[in-house]
Structure 1
């Protein structure tokens, strides 16, 4: 992959020419031909401008197509059902594991695909475009569970937890937040004390744990030395189920309802000495580094949701007739679609830049945070505008387009 650090005047002129040619093609013709040209405008702009700034390797293009085809065939048809009925997409997750979609950044030596963060971001976007719930399940398992294991885990921990959690039969979770402190890792009230047998005794409650109900292992952060504040936080790999570990109720969420969210309640939960992830007192560092990478995944999820909402708005407006023509011919609708596309593609470039920096082993903390903010704000705007384009149908629940539009809005 080549990411251009600077764009020459000549390149900028070419970009402008490309843009003009796309829009001029829309202006040609009349009636149905004009509408068809406008419907193609967004796709042409995406291809021309994205390829001018970042050229995807063939492997990434192949991965993108694989994920898009899978999302269309396996995820979109069941997305509304699993959202409405709070169903975990077990069959789809299993198929994703067999396709290698749960091990994109896992080295080949550990049974993974061995691609980079950009590939992961592209896959996350396409999967989330088909089903946001499936996207968040994949994101938590890949970024927040496998991520720290790959970076800080021992050979034994990797052998036990990495490959089994990439095949689609098992998933993991990340337990940092607590009822009283959110994601403030330095204020963890959950404690881990050494036991007489050389292991650890865990006590406390972790809240808002995505994948918590189905997960068969968790990365858990606990205070091991309160006097050292954030330097007294340690990370542990905790298998599930385990004596002393209970699950809270499944939260009834506004969106992404196909993924479970619950509390993990530890009461004198005994861990073996090999459960420590990284070094003692390294938990805060592990949490911060993991969350940096996780923000790329979250940004990619938002991009997928935004793209799905944009697709929904374009499709509906091209078929909905008013005043003798599709509403896509109305300038007000055209302006909405244009603004939605601009915000989406701007956020995508920020996200891909953060992923590229991570792949280059450069600092990406700021860029990942910017990408997460830009993508989530863009997706919120796009999903809201999608509802507006749907009009009255955006407020009732018995139409396929409405189900999609409202679901995208709630998933944010």
Structure 2
């Protein structure tokens, strides 16, 4: 079915017939965890040892708990898990996953751990010197109307001098040098503010969401510096939402709480990111002056096939609303995801169904294109969907 749809597919019953280097050539690996004569988890372990890895769709008939455990373990090892399917499943669902471009068109991800950290750091500094470090924007839209409500600032996956690299690995390399990490943070913040100013100038409202590292958050002069940068771009602090992770806040609660209070006093919005990864920390919400709750995309994706995940997702949305926060769902990639967010009255959404992250020029063009759509719908035909996904055939390998 994938081959008939235009993808380059190699199929086999015995994945051991391919070397690890062979597997690294593929964009996507469809891996049954119960292969004849082979434990699929061993393949997952082996993938963690190669520098360039395919994204993986794991398949199992042993229940969603087993599937989730393996997927979580793989992610912790740095292996990119695209999705999990519990047998039996509809083949059309897999085809939609691939064609909707859930990462496949981007190709394999390089393991930066195999690249010298000092070389990555030097490449980051050199790229900033030339103003050549790519920053991207992923739109956030109203879950009902799909109207533009702002965008999240993200780093690109290409690093001049290194090539394609996973963003977490890029951040990890930069974080080894406090001065470089601070410079990278302010570089991206400045780019985010400039992008926000550009869409405001075109008449589009909405804040820019920026990820604020813990080290920058607790620095004494950060609130003052951020206000100064905002004013220099002709914006107000209310046009900026600072995103922070649960772990960053809980690990340094006293200092971070004081910094959060300063940012709120200055007028910045605050978002708690990746909610759902650490449910045990939800009681801390009563102590945090956050204005926005961002539910981690993995929870939404699990909710496609898991009643437990659906119940947790719904509970988080209700909790956020009860606490007076706007609730954002990340990773909205299918029409079913969109319907789920609407059913649970999520406020804002972002994800591949709406748009990928993109440079500011492409974002402005995307906004214009949305205005030109007479019926206000997104992705109503195959052409729209392919355009959003960065259409193109993907190289796949099916194991099982």
Structure with the bigger RCO (C-alpha within 8 Å, sep 6+) is 2
Question: Could you say whether these structures have the same fold, taking a TM-score greater than 0.5 normalized by the shorter chain as the test?
Answer: no
Bigger proportion of residues as strand? 2
Bigger proportion of residues as helix? 1
- Structure number with greater Rg is 1
